[in-house]
Structure 1
């Protein structure tokens, strides 16, 4: 279902929720701001010296020496030879006979039973056992089907009352359940045990949906493996409700508020193979160091230590340390890299001496670094452990 349609549907259903509802979230609304780091400018005198020099380039911290010439023959290494197969796993293929089976691969019986259990707990608490009719898996399937139909028919922005109206409503909604029952389920839908939440939320901001989310991400990994190339990136899932780890990223073009997700996707099919939800800094804690490296290693961990795949990242994640860690897993890395990284030589930074459309290459035994000048005063820097020749 489209994100904006789902948001509008939720907003229209909000009129059914009592004003004194204490269940929006157990913690106050908190918004963290994410910002892109500015490019680092170079010392032009240092750049001119390094460009004219015939020796190797040295990183800003002096720890890395980049040769001006390739140190490898250019032959494909074992790190670029994929082992195993990509695509739909045997586990998934053996369990699919029709279309409903495809949905059940991801919304497993364990996930549905979890939702039914805790939704019944909340329904009894909210409406009482006399008014609340026990919720079951069959009704959950009907409820989820109605949400999908609202997306198909572009009904996400239509008030719930109109969906059941005699004139403009659709018969399929009435055939599934009454408007009152739909509102009850919408208000009571839960994914955890509220009686133990207070203690758990002190250690985990995501405790409201943690168990469900982990089961869901396991389904993503179990049913599909990426082909030879995968990519890791972040996505801001639009959301403006109350949440303890909501993000504000002013550089995002579509929606600046939302929940930040880290995704591992197959480059061939765009399938999301693994996922992490960013819950922000710990209470009273400091920002996480080397977060980009940690996220990538977490997301690719399930691929094993000898997959031979390649991972593409953007400059938030890419670093020499990440590339070295991935090589230990027989995974190569390609990605743009921030010019503020200490492993970057000064000559690879933007400079008035750099010619437009020119490139500089640096090589080690395992990596190639390239700085390309698309226009005056700008440089795009990339790091690769897949390509060792210029």
Structure 2
């Protein structure tokens, strides 16, 4: 276990120093390299031949890292936080985060599911599976346009969950008046269908935004505001996951590899460091920069 923890520390620290522009070969240099690397572990690591890896090699590629991913996500999902949904790079995973920039759940998306019934949309199935622990609790879900549909809104309503989401204008059930909406800047059109409202907002001259909401029975615009309340609510609740994406890109542990399960493992480490940083600040009340926290974590 000590060697495994040292190995993970080296990976995280290597990513931190790579952000400073130091090359990999420099990190283990006896002249220029930080002593942390040479004192922790040698650069060249070899697996012992005493272990039987035959069973592991026969496994599906994703299953090789699934045990690590599941263990990590079971820990993250215990945190009861406000829920927002976002699809996140680099592998096709659908991630469930919070406005605290904290990841609470994730699900691998391969484009098809064996358990999908013939009358159920794939997108609705994926979202409901991801939100399974948070349904029937009166929560609100904010998400981007991935998997968004009227059927998803109805399915979430049945489970006491409200949806606020951007809608792709190419969706077949989007009204033609919404698809062809072109008005003066900041113009707003609201379309209501049963318990769902559709807000069409001309935020730019050549581009409008279509927003679906089962949370807002009506859409108001304050006298001193140009943006409808549905758009304001989306911008306020969605930023947490956007920030999580940006942080994962700014300081990351990834490196070149031809094996994509390795990249999944790297991504787990990146998100784990972000979650650990957020929890550390909440528990201790200490203000600490993320880079400094990462280096302390490695130590």
The bucket for the TM-score relative to the shorter chain is 0.5 to 0.7
Aligned: 1:225 with 2:80: yes
Note the C-alpha offset of 1:380.
1.9
Aligned match for 2:136, one of 306, 316, 322: 306
2:222 matched residue in structure 1: none
1:360 equivalent to 2:203? Answer no
8 Å CA contact retained: 1:351, 1:377: no
- 8 Å Cα contact 1:312-1:333 kept in structure 2: yes
CA contact (8 A) 1:351 1:378 kept: no
Residue in 2 that maps onto 1:141:
5
Displacement of 1:382? 1.1
The alignment status of 1:275 with 2:106, answered yes or no, reads yes
**Secondary structure of 2:55 counterpart:** helix
Q: Structure 1 359/151 Cα, relative in aligned 2: closer, same or farther at 3 Å?
A: same
Paired residues of 2:142 and 2:164 also in contact (CA < 8 A): yes
Higher relative contact order (CA 8 A, sep 6+): 1
Tell me the CA shift for residue 280 of structure 1.
5.0
Runs of 4+ in structure 1 over 6 Å off:
none
State the match for 2:226 in structure 1: none
Distance 1:176 1:326, change over 3 A: same
Aligned to 2:241: none
1:290 Cα offset (Å) = 3.5
The TM-score normalised by the length of structure 2 is 0.62
TM-score, normalised on structure 1?
A: 0.48
Deviations 1:31-77 (A, max 9, x none): xxxxxxxxxxxxxxxxxxxxxxxxxxxxxxxxxxxxxxxxxxxxxxx
CA drift of 1:160 comes to 4.5
Identify which of 175, 185, 193 aligns with 1:345. Answer: 175
Query: Are 1:265 and 2:97 counterparts?
Result: yes
Is contact 1:356-1:373 (8 Å) kept?
yes
SS in 2 for 1:306: coil
Q: Does 1:331 align with 2:161?
A: yes
| Structure 2: unaligned runs, 5 residues or longer | 114-119, 220-299
Q: Structure 1 residue 295 and structure 2 residue 126: aligned?
A: yes
Distance in 1, Cα, partners of 2:128 & 2:3: 39
CA distance in 2, matches of 1:291, 1:236: 20
SS in 2 for 1:307: coil
User: 1:167-214: CA deviations, max 9, x gaps?
Assistant: 11222222223x2xx4215xx49xx9742346542xxx4122122222
The DSSP-based 3-state class of the residue aligned with 2:210 is strand
- The equivalent of 1:214 in structure 2 is 70
Task: Kindly indicate whether the alpha-carbon contact (under 8 Å) linking 1:150 and 1:156 is maintained by their aligned counterparts in 2.
Answer: no
Q: Deviations over 1:227-281 (max 9, x none)?
A: 3xx22111112xxxxxxxxxxxxxxxxxxxxx222111111x1101101233456
Which structure shows the bigger proportion of residues in helix conformation?
2
Give distance in 2, aligned partners of 1:193 and 1:389. 62
SS of the residue corresponding to residue 11 of structure 2 reads helix
Q: Which structure has the greater CA radius of gyration?
A: 1
- Residue aligned with 1:360, SS: strand
Query: Counterparts of 1:350 and 1:328 in 2: how far apart (Å)?
Result: 31
Deviation at 1:332, TM superposition (A): 0.4
Deviations 1:72-115 (A, max 9, x none): xxxxxxxxxxxxxxxxxxxxxxxxxxxxxxxxxxxxxxxxxxxx
